[in-house]
A and B are shown apart, each in its own frame.
Chain A
Amino acid sequence: MRIESECFLLPKAGNRTDEYEDASHSSTHVHKETTCCRFAIADGASESSFAELWARLLVKGYCLGRLGDNQIHRSVSPLSKAWQKKTSGKSLPWYAQEKLSSGAFSTLAGITFRFAVDAESAAFDAIAVGDSCIFHVREDTMIASFPLSTTDDFGSRPVLISSNAANNVQLHAFVRKWSGTAEAGDEFWLMTDALACWLLTRYKEDSSVISIIQKLAGERDFNTLVHEERRRPHREGCFYLRNDDVTFIRLKLVKGK
């Protein structure tokens, strides 16, 4: 068993590339007979500053195995210190100081696979905070959606992981967990909120959207799809794909080494 992975991303239309505030990361560790692969995405909240830095720290922390336990609100503490170290000591105007004291905020969705080289299935466990999602796809069917499963679940005010520990007091109540077994041939799609909401919207209308995504041959195809869907009218003056940073990790479990 092995995992093929690709990551696609695009900043919000109208923003510069350096204003992209999502993050993604992956890692692979082999211990004796078992391979452990981790993948994570995060979406830094627009209404906080230095959110891109915080999102990057979270995905790296997850892929180093530092955020997968039951005490996420405590295990983010070293990451908070790293964020504070990188952002402190700057001479900032009054509004930036005020914003900085609130801390940065970000979603996190991470999944870990464990499998033997010659296995035909893999155990997985996942965590999520906020509205970044993981979809489990088998052939042309979405068999699971985590942590959100309907478009109504998406709002723009989720509880997120903050770099300021004072904002994480209630965080443990908002950490979602998921585990299961995947087969060779299964796919897992990690998507930040705008893209995840788009997928659920399109899937509800027509499940053939699965094959559209499976056929994406590379970055150019992905970019074209995003640009088209951002312009495709949906309802009440909205478009199918909300204009936001988008990040997509596409994973496929494959037989063999």
Chain B
Amino acid sequence: MYSAEISRSNPSCILFIIDQSGSMSDPFGASTKSESVSDAINRLLQNLVIKCAKSEGIRDYYHVGVIGYGAGVGPAFGGVLAGKEVVPISEIADNPSKLDKRLKKVPDGAGGLVDQLVKFPVWFEPVANGGTPMCEAMRTAQTVLTQWISEYTHCFPPVVIHITDGESTDGDPTLEMEQIRALSTDDGNVLLFNLHISDSPSAVELRFPETADALPDAYSRMLYEGSSSLTPFMIRVANQEYDLNLSDGARGFVLNADLTLVIQALDIGTRPANLR
């Protein structure tokens, strides 16, 4: 399981589900939850695009979709991608809404880090509007995934990355998340990962826990329970490259933390250990 080659002729699918509800306007750290969401999705898409970049351009190893939920539920891209459920990664690479400039820490060759100005693509601006129809969003995702799987039965199963503050207003999405995880290709079940943005006073940064013991509230526990286990390959990458100490029970759940590891742990060929 989870061993199918990911290539242009055998692509996989990554579906993001992002919470754009009114509660995302709440302050969070130095900004708001919605800014955290847009920053997270832009960073994940950037990492995914760069992973697929080669000398001649982008190789379409992935089909990617983003479902937003708040005032409505549906495909969240704007511009030329508006209304599209799932598109090849090359279309996303070529159509950010703008390119910001940011400072990035890069190795200086002497064991330290220096700031380098890099282009940072932006596809999503912060949005906070309406209720939190999480159940409906999960059902929409299920429809999109079912369609994709019917066309790519032999491929590496889709990865779903859900970013939210967890406060569903249309019921408990536990069943809907279970139904997503039950979908499968010949190579395994759909992998559902949750990134919980929580302003609970007791919420600390937490990555891939093996139990719900340290979680701050019912929202966290619901999202933790709804998350798939990391695959053995992902656990190996987490331990070897990110200096984590995960065991087999690690869940694809993070609290106020970065999920980029999940993108880097998708295997499309040799990734050097000294590539950072």
- A interface residues with partner B (beta carbon < 8 Å): 12, 14, 43, 45-53, 93-99, 101-102, 105, 155-160, 162, 165-171, 193, 236-238, 243-244
Contacts and interface: CB of A to CB of B under 8 A. Distances in A.
Given A94-B99, A105-B270, 11 more contacts: A45-B272, A46-B269, A47-B270, A50-B55, A95-B58, A96-B53, A102-B276, A157-B270, A160-B270, A162-B274, A169-B107
Given A47-B269, A47-B272, A169 B57 contact: no
Contact of B270 (A45, A162, A166): A45
Contact of B187 (A43, A157, A237): A237
A12 B264 CA distance: 22
A238 B3 contact: yes
Contacts of B267: 156
B165 to A, nearest CB: 30
A47 B269 CA distance: 7
A41 B96 CA distance: 39
Contacts of B109: 165-166, 168-169
A101 B116 contact: yes
B1 A94 contact: no
Contacts of B8: 14
Contact of A156 (B10, B96, B106, B269): B269
A128 to B, nearest CB: 15
Contacts of B4: 237
Given A166-B109, A237-B3, A237-B4, A93 B93 contact: yes
Contact of A46 (B10, B96, B240, B270): B270
A43 B50 contact: no
- Interface of B, secondary structure class, is loop
Contacts of B205: none
Contacts, number: 119
Contacts of B10: 14
A97 B117 CA distance: 12
Interface in B1-58: 1, 3-5, 7-10, 49-51, 53-55, 57-58
A155 to B, nearest CB: 8
A48 B275 contact: yes
Contacts of B272: 45, 47-48, 105, 157-160, 162, 167
A46 B58 contact: no
Nearest to B267: A156
